[in-house]
């Protein structure tokens, strides 16, 4: 299905679709008794009777608000919206009308409008409980960290609020704290029985807790289906928590059951399609997404994923086999293995990216197979999207993922270098990060807590990946200085429900630092021990106790001590360090070189590993260069590069500086680093190809020449001549002649090509 219709056609289609009976569970004790009678039939799965009941209410002379509620229950959302608007116009002072109208907007994916109506209701009555709960429900769906405090405040004022208990139970399940979740659910169950409220959602959340605890057959599921055999939420709600904990294949199985018992549960069809796509079941994904679209064409996740499927059809597919070796189990030597990899690239950049993606994937498979003692059991799928919006569709409903890449087991997706402004991210390091996830997720059966999965990926980026050094931002240092790192047992909260701007990134770096510290103190084997504990179902507290032989609180203490020791100088005067960086940068801009060197050296002494924005290495190098201290300047440039500096414009400049000063090795290092962050510069590929030829590295030179052709330059004659020279180095004289003839075909009077052809002929190699 190509989702490229004008919106008015989509809207017309909605009017022509027979509406499904929408099941929303109402916990408001003030709900009209006439509606509660219809609701009761609906909750028991008596669909025909409930439809007749709601229809009678909608067609009756009941209040406009009652008619709106009945229309909504029948799935007539347009009519419900019209009636809510009329009711609000008739009584502008009723917060209940605005709240229920806002709930309709929230249910139909118009969250901003919903929140605006909730705010209007709270302006009328700041203590109005239904509006407070509705706001909290939306915030919870958006994974906002402040919602916990809001719900606790609601419960303090209204301890009987059933919905608040259920929302808090959901928060705990997202963090896999099933013990805390069960506490809230037990209280909710008692409240529901006392108030004669339905137990369907409670059963679904109890089933989710059971599944997260490893009980695949939950008694709560049977109880729910006895009450209502057509309630798909009993499977769809637990599936949501599987997704949050990386368990996409298990989520697919549950969503299949959800749509089987409730075929018109459009949200489950959408989620099933999205997660089928995550495990590369493309055609089946399209089937369920199209069903979801026909039932609910305004769900942006459905629409955007269908558009993504259209994009997938246009991508170039590259199949490769990666050969790697592992130590034999009996210690007799090495065993050869092969991994199958499918790479999806945009047609316009495939020829440029393919060789470098191949290289990173190949190195990662060899390195990570050894480090995690794990062989890939299925083909690995790697997708790079030049449009960030296409990649973003892949992350829908998955909180706390990075903004650049995401992994669903054997399938990973990420931005290509072209998706964001040049230099905004290091694509090769991002790819390495996601490849680590493939190994650690699959080796653990997708049972890692978020902090440990991300921590291992960051740790491997720093220690084995293509970008050397620890990349800590000023924001992370500030969080460390302000003591905002979370206890290890609570670190997942920083990913799933951050409470301050930038906390997700801080949590990534804290997790990486934790894994780095564990490896330094106990060895890499301790990380493998933790992975095995998580694979066996342990939580963070139990895993830390078993592997590290200490309580999490004790671990937090020694971890903090290690950070204080490593970063003491800069943490003691973080403001002063930043002032020195700023002073060095400003004086560099003023070309006041003598005033640059002092603060730059002082900043480097405080934190020598920092190579991020406004780093002191570059300021110092430029100042030394301007004062004629060329060798010292070049050493500072090398220090910056070897610690992971990767600003594209600086790398280009360094390649030229080093070449001009007869330092081809340094020039090549800068150019190779540039490939891994910004591979679209024709000139730098030409320089790199020439350096490879000079070093008799003909295969590498051919790679660069082919990349240059992929960039589609106007003048290709020199590129074909370069390929001819590379083939001659390899002794492939027929290929060499063919390439030089291509050169002359494009530029018949190109003297260098003419001379080269004569050399080939005179050498008797034609």
Give me the CATH number covering residue 583: 1.25.40.10
Region 615-629 average pLDDT? 98
Helix, strand, or coil (residue 760):
helix
Q: Is 169 among the domain residues? A: no
* In the predicted structure, residue 311 carries a pLDDT above the cut 80: yes
Residue 54's nearest CA partner among 199, 87, 231, 41 is: 41
Q: CATH number of the domain that 387 lies in?
A: 3.40.390
Q: Is 534 among the domain residues? A: yes
> Distance between CA 709 and CA 742 in Å, rounded?
12
Region 217-236 average pLDDT? 96
* In the predicted structure, residue 398 carries a pLDDT above the cut 70: no
State CA 217 to chain mean position distance.
31
* In the predicted structure, residue 518 carries a pLDDT above the cut 70: yes
Strands 380-385 and 411-415: parallel
Same domain, 563 and 454: yes
Same domain, 420 and 509: no
* In the predicted structure, residue 555 carries a pLDDT above the cut 60: yes
Same domain, 463 and 553: yes
Q: Is 650 among the domain residues? A: no
Residue 450 Cα distances to 245, 296, 512, 600, angstroms = 7, 32, 12, 38
Q: Give pLDDT tens digits for 27-71.
A: 998 999 999 999 999 999 999 999 999 999 999 888 999 999 999
Q: What is the pLDDT of residue 21?
A: 67
> Distance between CA 78 and CA 755 in Å, rounded?
77
Last-in-domain residue among 443, 459, 478: 443
Region 557-574 average pLDDT? 97
Residue 679's nearest CA partner among 392, 294, 366, 360 is: 360
Q: What is the pLDDT of residue 12?
A: 33
Q: Is 547 among the domain residues? A: yes
DSSP assignment string, 481-521: HTT-PPPGGGTHHHHHS-SSTTHHHHHHHHHHHHHHHHHHH
* In the predicted structure, residue 197 carries a pLDDT above the cut 70: yes
Last-in-domain residue among 608, 630, 645: 645
Q: Is 345 among the domain residues? A: yes
Same domain, 436 and 517: no
Query: What are the φ/ψ torsions at residue 3 (nearest 5 degrees)?
Result: -90, 80
- Token code pair at residue 443: 């080796």
Helix, strand, or coil (residue 310):
helix
User: Using 50, 70 and 90 to split pLDDT, how confident is the model at 465?
Assistant: very high
Same domain, 357 and 396: yes
Q: Is 563 among the domain residues? A: yes
Same domain, 530 and 584: no
Region 84-89 average pLDDT? 97
Q: What is the pLDDT of residue 762?
A: 85
CB 261 within 8 A of CB 227: no
- Structural domains counted in the chain: 3
Same domain, 330 and 356: yes
Q: What is the pLDDT of residue 700?
A: 98
Same domain, 596 and 619: yes
Same domain, 395 and 502: no
User: Using 50, 70 and 90 to split pLDDT, how confident is the model at 20?
Assistant: low
Same domain, 556 and 578: no
Same domain, 495 and 410: no
User: What's 214's DSSP letter?
Assistant: T
What share of the chain has pLDDT > 90, as a percent? 87
Residue 709's nearest CA partner among 174, 352, 307 is: 352
List of residues 6+ apart from 194 with CB closer than 8 A: none
Q: What is the pLDDT of residue 8?
A: 28
> Does the pTM exceed 0.95?
no
Q: Is 462 among the domain residues? A: yes
Last-in-domain residue among 571, 587, 609: 571
Strands 411-415 and 405-407: antiparallel
- Token code pair at residue 335: 């065993």
Residue 58: CB atoms within 10 A of its CB come to: 21
Containing domain of residue 604, as a range?
Answer: 573-645
Same domain, 405 and 330: yes
Q: Is 215 among the domain residues? A: no
According to DSSP H, which parts of 228-281 are helical? 233-244, 248-261, 266-278
**Site of tokens 């190109």:** 750
Region 698-721 average pLDDT? 97
């Amino acid at each position: 299905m190509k989702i490229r219709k004008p919106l008015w056609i989509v809207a017309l289609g909605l009017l022509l679709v027979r509406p499904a009976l929408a099941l929303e569970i109402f916990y408001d004790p003030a709900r009209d008794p006439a509606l509660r009678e219809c609701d009761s039939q609906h909750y028991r799965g008596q669909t025909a009777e409930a439809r007749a009941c709601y229809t009678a209410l909608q067609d009756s002379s009941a209040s406009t608000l009652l008619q709106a509620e009945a229309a909504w229950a029948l799935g007539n959302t347009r009519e419900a919206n019209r009636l809510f608007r009329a009711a609000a116009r008739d009584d502008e002072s009723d917060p209940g009308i605005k709240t229920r109208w806002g709930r309709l907007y929230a249910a139909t994916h118009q969250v901003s409008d919903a929140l605006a109506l909730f705010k209007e209701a709270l302006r009328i009555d700041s203590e109005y409980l239904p509006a407070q709960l509705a706001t909290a429900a939306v915030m919870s769906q958006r994974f906002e960290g402040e919602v916990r405090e809001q719900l606790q405040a609601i419960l303090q004022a209204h301890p009987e609020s059933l919905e608040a208990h259920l929302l808090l139970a959901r928060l705990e399940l997202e963090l896999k704290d099933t013990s805390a979740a069960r506490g809230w659910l037990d209280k909710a169950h008692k409240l529901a029985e006392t108030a004669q409220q339905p137990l369907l959602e409670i059963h679904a959340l109890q089933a989710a807790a059971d599944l997260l605890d490893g009980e695949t057959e939950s008694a709560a599921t049977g109880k729910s289906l006895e009450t209502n055999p057509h309630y798909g939420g009993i499977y769809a709600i637990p599936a949501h928590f599987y997704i949050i904990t990386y368990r996409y294949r298990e989520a697919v199985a549950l969503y299949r059951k959800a749509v089987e018992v409730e075929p018109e549960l459009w949200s489950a069809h959408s989620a099933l399609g999205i997660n089928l796509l995550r495990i590369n079941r493309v055609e089946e994904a399209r089937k369920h997404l199209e069903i979801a679209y026909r039932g609910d064409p305004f769900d942006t996740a459905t629409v955007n994923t269908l558009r993504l499927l259209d994009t997938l059809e246009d991508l170039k597919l590259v199949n490769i086999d990666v050969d790697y070796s592992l130590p034999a189990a009996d210690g007799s030597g090495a065993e050869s293995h092969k991994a199958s990899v499918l790479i999806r690239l945009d047609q316009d950049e495939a020829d440029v990216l393919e060789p470098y993606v191949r290289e990173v994937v190949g190195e990662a498979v060899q390195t990570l197979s050894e480090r995690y003692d794990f062989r890939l059991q299925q083909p690995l799928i790697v997708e790079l999207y030049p449009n960030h919006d296409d990649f973003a569709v892949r992350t829908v409903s998955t909180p706390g993922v990075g903004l650049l890449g995401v992994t669903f087991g054997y399938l990973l997706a990420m931005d290509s270098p072209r998706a964001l402004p040049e230099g905004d991210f290091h694509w090769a390091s991002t790819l390495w990060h996601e490849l680590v996830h493939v190994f650690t997720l699959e080796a653990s059966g997708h049972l890692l807590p978020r902090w440990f999965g991300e921590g291992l990926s960051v740790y491997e980026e720093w220690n084995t990946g293509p970008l050397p050094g620890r990349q800590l931002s000023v924001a992370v240092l500030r969080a460390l200085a302000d003591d905002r790192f979370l206890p290890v047992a609570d670190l997942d909260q920083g990913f799933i429900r951050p409470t301050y701007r930038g906390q997700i990134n801080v949590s990534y770096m804290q997790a990486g630092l934790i894994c780095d510290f564990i490896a330094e103190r106990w060895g890499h084997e301790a990380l493998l021990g933790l992975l095995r504990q998580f694979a066996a179902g342990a939580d963070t507290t139990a895993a830390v106790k078993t592997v590290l032989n200490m309580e999490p609180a004790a671990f937090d203490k020694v971890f903090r001590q290690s950070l204080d020791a490593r970063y003491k100088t800069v943490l003691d005067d973080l403001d002063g360090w930043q002032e020195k960086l700023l002073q060095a940068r400003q004086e560099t801009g003023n070309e006041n070189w003598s005033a640059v060197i002092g603060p730059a050296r002082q900043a480097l002494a405080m934190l020598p590993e920092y190579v991020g924005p406004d780093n002191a290495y570059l300021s110092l190098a430029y100042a030394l260069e301007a004062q004629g201290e060329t060798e010292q300047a070049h050493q500072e440039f090398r220090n910056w590069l070897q610690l992971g500096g990767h600003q594209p414009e600086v790398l280009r400049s360094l390649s030229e500086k080093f070449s001009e000063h007869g330092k081809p090795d340094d020039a090549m290092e800068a150019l190779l680093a540039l490939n891994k962050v910004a591979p679209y510069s024709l000139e730098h590929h030409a320089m790199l190809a020439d350096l490879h030829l000079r070093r008799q590295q003909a295969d590498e030179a051919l790679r660069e020449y082919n990349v240059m052709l992929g960039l589609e330059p106007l003048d290709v004659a020199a590129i074909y001549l370069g390929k001819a020279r590379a083939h001659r180095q390899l002794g492939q004289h027929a290929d060499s002649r063919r390439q030089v003839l291509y050169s002359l075909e494009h530029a018949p009077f190109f003297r260098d090509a003419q001379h080269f052809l004569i050399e080939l002929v005179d050498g008797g190699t034609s």
